[in-house]
Structure 1
Amino acid sequence: MVNMKLACVVVMCMAMLYAQTGGALTCGQISNNLVPCVGYLQYGGLISKRCCDGVKSIANDATTTPARRFTCNCLKSAAAAVKKINPNNAQLLPGKCGVNIPYKISTSTNCASIK
C-alpha cells in the first residue's frame, strides 16, 4: 500500500513538472533525442550529427527553470537505465556539440537546485 502511494506521488510530481514546462517536453522525447548518443556516452569516440542535433534540441526546449529541472531529472533517469555510461563522456557531450548547459550532467546533480 505504501509503495502504491509513493508511486502516485511520483506520478503527480512528474505531471506537475510536465505542466510547468508548458507540456513541451516529455522524458520520452528527451530520451529519444539521446538514442544516437548512446555509443559515445558508453565508449567515447566520434559523435554523430544526429546525436548533436538531439542535444541541441533538448537544450533549446529547456529554456525555463522548471523545464531545465524536468530535463535534468529525465536525463538522470535515462542515465540510470543505460548500462556502462561513462560519466566523463556525459559531462563532455554538450560542449562537444557546441551546447552550453547551465549544470553538470551527472547522476549526482541535484536537479532541484538548477535555475
Structure 2
Amino acid sequence: MKLSTPAVLAPTILVLLLLIPATEAAIKCSDVVKALTPCVNYLKNGNGTPTSACCNGANKLNSLATTSSDRQTVCSCLKTAAQNINPNDAAAKALPGSCGITLPSPVSKTVDCSKIS
C-alpha cells in the first residue's frame, strides 16, 4: 500500500505545531532594560533632566505596551530593574512627565503589577 504525500506530511505537521509555544510574550524584559538603559544615570542620581536617548527609549517602551498583558510584563521588568538600580524616587516619578509621556507602569520597587491594566 502506497501512502500519499498529504497522509505522510499531516502527522509531521501536527507534531511541529505541538512543539511551537502557544503564546509568546510580545515584550521581553531584555527589551524593557534596553529601552531604559539610557535612563539609569538620571534615575540613580535624580538630578537634571533625562537625556533625549532616555526619553526616546521610554517613548518606545510606551508604544510597545499596547495590551494589559504587555503593561504587566513591563511593570514586572521595571520592578525588578528598580530593585537592582535603586532609583531616586523623585526622579523615577518625574521621568514620564519630563519626557512628555505616560509609562505603562511606574519605575518602582513597590508597585503591584497585578493592578496594571
SS in structure 2 of the partner of residue 47 of structure 1: coil
TM-score, length of structure 2 as denominator length: 0.73
Equivalent residues of 2:65, 2:71 under 8 A apart: yes
Aligned length: 95
Write out per-residue CA displacement over residues 85-111 of structure 1, whole angstroms, 9 at most, x where no aligned residue. Answer: 101111110111011135543211100
The alignment-based identity, stated in percent, is 35
User: Structure 2 vs 1, CA of residues 95 and 80 (structure 1 numbering), >3 Å: closer, same or farther?
Assistant: same
Which residue of structure 2 lines up, in the alignment, with residue 114 of structure 1? Answer: 116
**Amino acid in structure 1 at the alignment position of 2:36:** L
Structure 2 gaps of 5+ residues are 1-20
Mapping for residues 12-23 of structure 1, pairs under 5 Å: 19=23, 23=25
Which residue of structure 1 lines up, in the alignment, with residue 32 of structure 2? Answer: 30
Is residue 2:74 matched to residue 1:71?
yes
User: Structure 2 vs 1, CA of residues 102 and 61 (structure 1 numbering), >3 Å: closer, same or farther?
Assistant: closer
Structure 1 gaps of 5+ residues are 1-15
User: Structure 2 vs 1, CA of residues 89 and 75 (structure 1 numbering), >3 Å: closer, same or farther?
Assistant: same
User: Structure 2 vs 1, CA of residues 103 and 46 (structure 1 numbering), >3 Å: closer, same or farther?
Assistant: closer
Between Structure 1 and Structure 2, whose CA radius of gyration is higher?
A: 2
Is residue 2:55 matched to residue 1:55?
no
Query: Quick one: distance in 1 between partners of 2:54 and 2:102?
Result: 15
SS in structure 2 of the partner of residue 57 of structure 1: helix
* 4+ aligned runs moved over 2 Å, structure 1: 101-105
Equivalent residues of 2:25, 2:70 under 8 A apart: no
Q: Among 87, 95, 98, which residue is 1:96 paired with?
A: 98
SS in structure 1 of the partner of residue 57 of structure 2: helix
TM-score, length of structure 1 as denominator length: 0.74
Which residue of structure 2 lines up, in the alignment, with residue 13 of structure 1? Answer: none
